[in-house]
Copies of this chain bind each other. A is one copy, B any other.
Amino acid sequence: MLPLLGLVLGVVGTIYAVYLARWVLKQDPGTEKMRKISEAISVGARAYLFRQYRTIGLVLAVLTVVIGVGIGVLAAASFLIGALGSMLAGYLGMYVTTRSASRAAQAARNGLGPALRVAWRAGAVMGLALSSIALLAISGLYLAYSNITREWALPLVALGFGASLITLFMRVGGGIYTKAADLGADLVGKVEVGIPEDDPRNPGVIADNVGDNVGDVAGMAADVFESYIVTLTAAVFLAWIIGLPLEFIELPILYGTLALLATFIGVAALRTSNVRDPMKSISTSINLTILISVALFIVASFAVLGRYGFLEALAMGVAASLGALLTPVILKITDYYTSFNYRPVAKIAEQAQISPATVIVTGYGIGLMSAIPTIGIISAVLGVTYYLGYTILGDVAAATYGTYGPLLAGIYGTAIASVGLLSVAGIIITADSFGPVSDNANGVVEMSELPEEVRNATDVLDSIGNTTKATTKGYAIASAALAALVLFIALIFEVVRAINALGYSIGLSDILKSISAANPNVLVGAFIGAIVVYLFSSRTLGAVGVTAMEIVNEIRRQFRERPGILEWKEEPDYARVVDIATRRALGEFVVPGLVAIVIPLATGIVLGWQALVGLIFGAIIVGVPRALLMANAGGAWDNAKKYIELGHFGGKRSEAHKAAVVGDTVGDPFKDTTGPSLNPLIKVLNTLSVVFAFLIVYLNNHMGIVLTGLLPFII
């Protein structure tokens, strides 16, 4: 009954989040003008989010019915809960950020420390609320379902499917919105007309700020929330389906609970008075959380698994700890490739002296390079934790699967590592949400024309926010990769169950053989996986271009037809730009979403489950490096521009700066639309396949008349 602890901590965490939210809302929201600007952003963001939810609602209703009829009521219920959870996460993120930006801006009048406190606590509202709600959902459903039926595990995976599907829609829609608005506003405002960023004369400025909220905030919050749910439920499911004892099934939930406890301490521990380097304070909070988590993991492992032996308990504690310790390593790697304190970004900035083209080529090359250490370290943790499970836990798993026991125990070891990584999501979301709050606060200060020294304080916070935002992208991708790998194995076992349920008698040996890399079916499937990633990336990038073009034309029109705007005599029509961005983003986000649902289902049903396994394999191998490339190249271009703005190579307004701006603009949809959308994409492909595995195998088998000969059901 360990998950009861999860329920309790989840409730405590929610209360803590509410307390912090009330504290933030009690702060002074600033001048009339500041409140007005905040209000406009908040209204635009809420309007977009609700229209998006309405569109999503349709897909959601259809899928809930399909799952209810095809899989079962419990699965439909958790699918719906997962989906609503993601929607709530997005809404919460947007609500807190828009409310707290003006308050952080106002606090900045009293200096850096007070502003840091407001922004951090606002971020913590998100971090605590999301990890608490996720933990509540998982432990609650686990306790409920496992009391109702012996087949409780699959419905639990549907929770992850709901969460990742909604996140996918939010990531894509929000990503298109935010970058099209940003691109449109910057291209006309900064480049053509020459007014600063966030200048209130720019008709696109409100849409740009709305975009930050619906894209970066709502999207990122939903993303990590979803990864958390997917990873924990997948690990639980895996433990169940390979027949491990109860303690191992509940272990992932326990680790999540303990890390939440550590997060409480980490959040509270941030130093905000007499701060000289706020980034250091934030890093300390993150590291503290991770260290406490590691200590708790080790102690708890002995308490719970002690009866299986000393080494067994230690192995699991170490596996979870390795996962958690992966966090600072990945943050550091991402920082190295995207911050201007290191060689890579400086190299891009140097190329800006030559031409925009060399900025692009060099930045792209650095993006490619940046994927390598992250994938390397993920592979290493994978290998080591597999080894731990394989050699130490093999006997425990052998009870069910005999000679395959060590293999399965090894895979469980990797699952525990991914749980360790995700368990500290609360503090990561806190640091990440701190970013857009600071960014928005900076915008409010700029638009409200507050004094220089206030802007300086929010500038510092904004630049730190940019760092936390950039580095947590690496975390999100790594966590998505590990979650996907766990799910990938879970899918294979679910297929075994499904095929056996159809009356065939299939052992693990046959299954492993049929998904051999030498099977052309697997190979074709892997190519289809690559196609899904490419199709999805192309559509989302294209959507940003098309939408931005429409926004550029609208802003150009306003400047042309109403010259008073630039002379501060007329107010621009913000609402029209907001409307264009909303309409187009909603129009463009449906197709990529459907691609993620239709292609895997069609592949599984028509070409067989081996092709589906190949598809997911291919999507992971192609998608994870691509997500890293796009996120990090985007971050590096962004900071190369900032580096030049600090006065290098001619500084602002130089030719080098113009070249760097091109890089930054290319990087925007890379890092904020397509790159981050690949995380939920990979997990939707996965969770969908697990949830519908029975249906896919059944339908494929019944169409076998045509296809059995073509691509054998089992080799």
Cβ distance A213 to chain B, nearest Cβ, rounded Å: 23
Number of A interface residues in the complex (CB < 8 A) = 89
Query: Is A110 an interface residue when CB atoms closer than 8 A count as contact?
Result: no
Of A247-255, A261-269, A368-376, A442-450, the one with at least 4 CB within 8 A of chain B: A368-376
Q: Known interface pairs A538-B368, A541-B365. Does A621 touch B665 (Cβ–Cβ under 8 Å)?
A: no
Query: Is A528 an interface residue when CB atoms closer than 8 A count as contact?
Result: yes
A520 touching B617 by the CB < 8 A rule? no
Most buried by B among A355, A382, A390, A542: A355
Query: Is A523 an interface residue when CB atoms closer than 8 A count as contact?
Result: yes
Tell me the chain A residues, 318-370 only, with Cβ under 8 Å from chain B. 350-351, 354-358, 360-362, 364-366, 368-369
Query: Is A485 an interface residue when CB atoms closer than 8 A count as contact?
Result: yes
CB-defined contacts of A513 to chain B, threshold 8 Å:
509, 512-513, 516
Query: Is A8 an interface residue when CB atoms closer than 8 A count as contact?
Result: no
Cβ distance A669 to chain B, nearest Cβ, rounded Å: 6
Query: Is A34 an interface residue when CB atoms closer than 8 A count as contact?
Result: no
Q: State the main secondary structure of chain A at its contact with B.
A: helix
B183 touching A542 by the CB < 8 A rule? no
Of A87-95, A155-163, A544-552, the one with at least 4 CB within 8 A of chain B: A544-552
B391 touching A709 by the CB < 8 A rule? yes
Query: Is A522 an interface residue when CB atoms closer than 8 A count as contact?
Result: yes
Q: Known interface pairs A362-B545, A534-B368, A542-B365. Does A715 touch B512 (Cβ–Cβ under 8 Å)?
A: yes
B358 touching A548 by the CB < 8 A rule? yes
B710 touching A387 by the CB < 8 A rule? yes
CB-defined contacts of A682 to chain B, threshold 8 Å:
none
Cβ distance A536 to chain B, nearest Cβ, rounded Å: 9
Residue ID in chain B nearest A533 by CB atoms: B625
Residue ID in chain B nearest A541 by CB atoms: B365
Residue ID in chain B nearest A408 by CB atoms: B518
B361 touching A187 by the CB < 8 A rule? no
B355 touching A526 by the CB < 8 A rule? no
CB-defined contacts of A665 to chain B, threshold 8 Å:
355, 357-358
Given contacts A369-B535, A512-B513, A531-B625, 20 further A-B contacts (CB under 8 A): A187-B357, A191-B355, A354-B549, A355-B662, A361-B541, A362-B541, A362-B545, A369-B534, A372-B534, A372-B535, A372-B538, A376-B531, A404-B715, A407-B715, A488-B517, A492-B518, A512-B518, A523-B617, A530-B621, A622-B622
Across chains A and B, which 3 residue pairs bring their CB atoms closest together, nearest first? A357-B665, A365-B541, A368-B538
